[in-house]
Amino acid sequence: MSSPANLLRHELSPYLLQHADNPVHWRPWGAAALAEAAAADRPILLSVGYAACHWCHVMAHESFENDDTAALMNALYVCIKVDREERPDIDHLYMSALHALGEQGGWPLTMFLTPAGDPFWGGTYFPPEPRWGRPSFRQVLQGVADAYRTQHDAVRQNVAGLRQTLARMSAPSPGDPPGPALLRRAAAGLLRSTDPDLGGLRGAPKFPNPAIFRFLWQESMRSGAAGGRDALRLLLTRMSQGGIYDQLGGGYARYATDAEWLVPHFEKMLYDNAQLLDLLALAHAEAPDPLFAERAAETVGWLTRDMTAERVDGHAAFAASEDADSEGVEGKFYVWAEAEIDTALGSAAAPFKAAYDVTPAGNWEGHTILRRVTARGDEAHEAALADARAILFARRAGRIRPGRDDKVLADWNGLAIAALCRAAAVFGRSDFLAVAQDAFVFVQTVMTAPDGRVRHAWRRGRITAAGLLDDQASMARAALALFEATGRADYLDTAIVWADAAEAWFAAPDGGYFTTASDADDVPLGAQARPRTASDNATPAGIGLLAEALARLYHLTGAPVWRERARAAIAAFSGLGERLAACPTLLAAADLLEDGAVAVIAGAPDLSATQALLAAALASPDPAVVVLRAPTADALPAAHPAHAKTAPSGRALAYVCRGGVCGLPVETPAALAAALRRNPSVT
């Protein structure tokens, strides 16, 4: 018998603690829970979700807080709860199994496992009563338990089939690194999936898919074709004016439930906003747009105001997410009634309501989600709207806020740090860079193990999850972004430590890198199913991020080892052919490795001419540009193609190196921008 207790009260994950008072006898994931299931020969009910997940809350209220349902769960299963953000490796395994069963993924993820942890059936949300053609959760519980007891052959067959499928999904697909023709075809295929009117990908719900649009942008920089640039600018414009963007407090919600970006799933995730900040900066760098500048500043404002996690020794990184719900109602914190707007704004209400789609009937379930529906006005008009937004923001602050998941995740923070570095350069905001440096110090000092590995999750003074490939890769990439932004050698040294840790603990003998470390002792299903994937999801794949970091290390140091590792990481999945379109971060890394430009800035650091050239290089709109300082003749390694490139005393010069060859020096920011341009049609 399971111990008649819910053990989640001992955990630190905000999501697990949300379930600590359930009458379900929940266990956290781990060897103890698996051993309990084995000893009792009882199947496992695995429930995976995250703190900001609306439908996770719904299923919790309907089923996990229900005494009768909980009693059935406790009688038939060993029940295990997993925070997918804390354990993305476990989530990946079982979500992959669900997909292999032909089911659409999502959270809450509900999987049924053998006592050894093998999946044999699953689904996502189940209602408390039969509806929408789906059985009730209690029917599912009883039916699966009966099948496990009486249909042994069917269960064994499912287990064997899923094991084979998961092993195939984890296998490499080696091939020659992708060249320009494949990059063009991948971009063309992705562009055909975009919505030419509303932005993003076609249909609903609409997700930002930042990895896809970043690749399309980079490929447009390479090829000169305008399609990728236009697609990104349209995406950012539609999202930034839509309801998916918090028009008062800044920050983008995770996705829109409709095709017009009006109705968000109101949760805000760090990883989305980090990647969108990066895209806003890239788009603004190519063609400045006040909308992009405003949204970038407001999003960073939200990050620093609402998402700064607990400080340790004066330093803080970013929290993971904000919930969709408050007071048990999705979106309640964010929506408005016309009467509230009238009361708050008085005579200023009419122009605000016209600009932000405020009507008596509302635009969503009788309420109004603020979105900008009018064209930009003159300076006085925009200033008046800004004043109105400030009044409403202050009024909204009196409402009960959505919950916040304040755990610190290293990989998501790495995305934010790199994005802040780019935004600092493009928008001329040194304060953005200071915020990035502060978050970096936190991860480096609080979350890094003595063996050089970055741990994955931290909360309230404790590490709660071991490091994954994504953590090493994302933070190595962040360290390189800081090195390029500041020239500080310690950032480069740290990036090398983390890249070496990825090689030591995550490299696969037959190519690529595993998601989990070689000493991970609580990942089920054996070595053959050990997760390894290059496909991007809401966050970039760890292999793609690592390939980018390795390529940057090669361009920054000239050391062949980094090129060899980057090529090997890319080649491990290059055999996917046209399916590489699902790996846009890896494709972008391949382009960076083979066709990236190194802007080498030679000159005394304190010269205004040096600073001007650095600013131009760092603000390049092409993600495949790497920036390197050479203040003295011996500043660069002998292996680097720009070794010994110098500038006369009192002057600054820039050299653009591509393919191991450096061009003639240029002396002005405009000339440097032109030299960095890969295609003359990109202006």
| Segments making up each domain of the chain, as ranges | 7-170, 186-324+404-595, 334-396, 597-676
Asked if 369 contacts 331 with a C-beta cutoff of 8 angstroms, the reply is yes
What confidence category does residue 679 fall into, taking pLDDT thresholds of 50, 70 and 90?
A: confident
Q: Do domains 7-170 and 186-324+404-595 have the same CATH topology?
A: no
Give me the pLDDT at residue 251, please.
98
Taking residues 330-335, report their average pLDDT: 96
CATH class held by domain 186-324+404-595: mainly alpha
Judge whether residue 1 has pLDDT over 50.
Answer: no
pLDDT tens-digit profile of 169-225?
Answer: 999 999 999 999 999 999 999 999 999 999 999 999 999 999 999 999 999 999 999
| Portion of the chain with pLDDT greater than 90, in percent | 93
Q: Whose structure tokens read 């995305």? A: 415
What confidence category does residue 525 fall into, taking pLDDT thresholds of 50, 70 and 90?
A: confident
| Portion of the chain with pLDDT greater than 70, in percent | 99
Taking residues 37-52, report their average pLDDT: 95
The mean of the pLDDT values for the chain is 95
Helices (H), 243-378: 270-286, 290-306, 338-345, 349-355
What confidence category does residue 233 fall into, taking pLDDT thresholds of 50, 70 and 90?
A: very high
What confidence category does residue 3 fall into, taking pLDDT thresholds of 50, 70 and 90?
A: low
pLDDT tens-digit profile of 301-313?
Answer: 999 999 999 999 9
Rounded distance between C-alpha atoms, residue 658 and residue 662, angstroms: 6
Contacting residues for 259 by C-beta, under 8 A, at least 6 apart? 195, 198, 203, 204, 206
**Which DSSP state fits 650?**
T
pLDDT tens-digit profile of 417-428?
Answer: 999 999 999 999
Asked if 238 contacts 249 with a C-beta cutoff of 8 angstroms, the reply is no
What confidence category does residue 683 fall into, taking pLDDT thresholds of 50, 70 and 90?
A: low
For domain 7-170, give the fold. Glutaredoxin (3.40.30)
Judge whether residue 434 has pLDDT over 90.
Answer: yes
Rounded distance between C-alpha atoms, residue 352 and residue 455, angstroms: 47
Give me the pLDDT at residue 680, please.
75
Rounded distance between C-alpha atoms, residue 358 and residue 342, angstroms: 10
